[in-house]
Amino acid sequence: MSVIATGTERKIVIKTLFAYPFRLFFLLVGLYGFAIVLAWVAFLFGGLGLPVGWSPLHWHSHEMLFGFTTAAIAGFILTAICNWTGAPPVQGKMLLLLVVAWVSGRIAMWLSSYLPLPLVAVLDMLFLLALAALVLQILIRHGNRRNVPLGGMILLLAVANLLMHIGFNTGVTAWLQHGQMLAMGLLTLMMVVIGGRIIPLFTGNWFRNHGVPVTVIVRPVLDRAAIVITVLLIPVEWIAASWLTGILALVAAALNGWRLCGWKGWHTWREPLVWVLHLGYTWIVVALLLKGLSAFEWVVPASWQHALGAGAMGTLILGVMTRVALGHTGRTLTLPELGWLIYAGITLAAVFRVGAALGCFDYQLGVMIAAAGWCFAFSLFVILYWPILSRPRVDGRPG
């Protein structure tokens, strides 16, 4: 009987994981977030050899941008798109094909010194192209024009990925840098757009539900200005002098900071599921500020890149995953016991990684502490959220 029960339970888990995109992709984000940073630190300071071809630094950057982050994008977008359009969730065989495409790309990149580089590029490109095609097809079919630009951004991320692979295949570092910068610009834009929608919404809902006499201030003109300047940063970084990039980055920091202040996040200090989103957006402002300063050579570029990566991306990804996983499984929006340690770990990682880049700490010590905080945060997410993501909804509804 125990064998039958175990087999039955296993089937339920598998069926549940493939019932909605966020379930499996969020777990993959947690697992890969832990693995990629652990392997990188072991390479830097432990002598671990990575079979990743001729440019380990750009390989690391590629996998953080196009491996780790794109899995988070898929989990969020393919879940949110059901609310935006009323479309049924991507599940079953279609979801399996997407996951296989993502996993195939990761295997190819980890074995890139053993495989023909054109084959590595093809295998790695499949996921983003498939994701973009699927998202655009659903949005267009359901007449949801408002969100079509998000599908376009995913397609442009595939272009950025292609640029990096051109660099890997030709040995021309400039192509690697172009792909990396385009991806970071697009991811910044996606966070500004999506964050500008969900953070004031979730904050306002929390104020009303808890009787907090505070009103979220949303200024449409300011929102459009912040988005436009963030968009302009992408081409300007390619074609204009660095001083213009610096000015635009500082303006973008100011506009996004002004925007953030209107959302009154400091009043949500009692609810970590809300304030963590404000913290993540704060890291966007910090990254843009440091980017502006780096254009004038007042700080090193690595400072803004890690403020964006470890700070904004890491914090917002965990903030969104911890909230969406609760809401979309029918649970109350209450962080699991010890869940606040997830946010403590990612904040520790961001502070020490940016601090190490700025020279505030010994470089090796700072990176090691940052890696420990990052790995702790993502492994704890998997531990605490595995029972939530692998079990059916508590309210009995499908999904």
Q: Which of 44, 73, 102, 64 is nearest to 309 (CA)?
A: 64
All domains of the chain, ordered by start, with CATH? Answer: 2-389 (1.20.210.10)
pTM of the shown model? 0.95
Q: Which pLDDT belongs to residue 52? A: 82
pLDDT value of position 1: 36
Structure tokens at 324: 């969406």
Give the pLDDT of the chain (399 residues) as one tens digit per residue: 344 446 788 888 999 999 999 999 999 999 999 999 999 999 999 888 887 877 889 999 999 999 999 999 999 999 999 999 999 999 999 999 999 999 999 999 999 999 999 999 999 999 999 999 999 999 999 999 999 999 999 999 999 999 999 999 999 999 999 999 999 999 999 999 999 999 999 999 999 999 999 999 999 999 999 999 999 999 998 887 789 999 999 999 999 999 999 999 999 999 999 999 999 999 999 999 999 999 999 999 999 999 999 999 999 999 999 999 999 999 999 999 999 999 999 999 999 999 999 999 999 999 999 999 999 999 999 999 999 999 999 888 877
Phi, psi of 354 (to 5 degrees): -70, -40
Contacts of 212 (CB under 8 A, 6+ apart): 206, 267
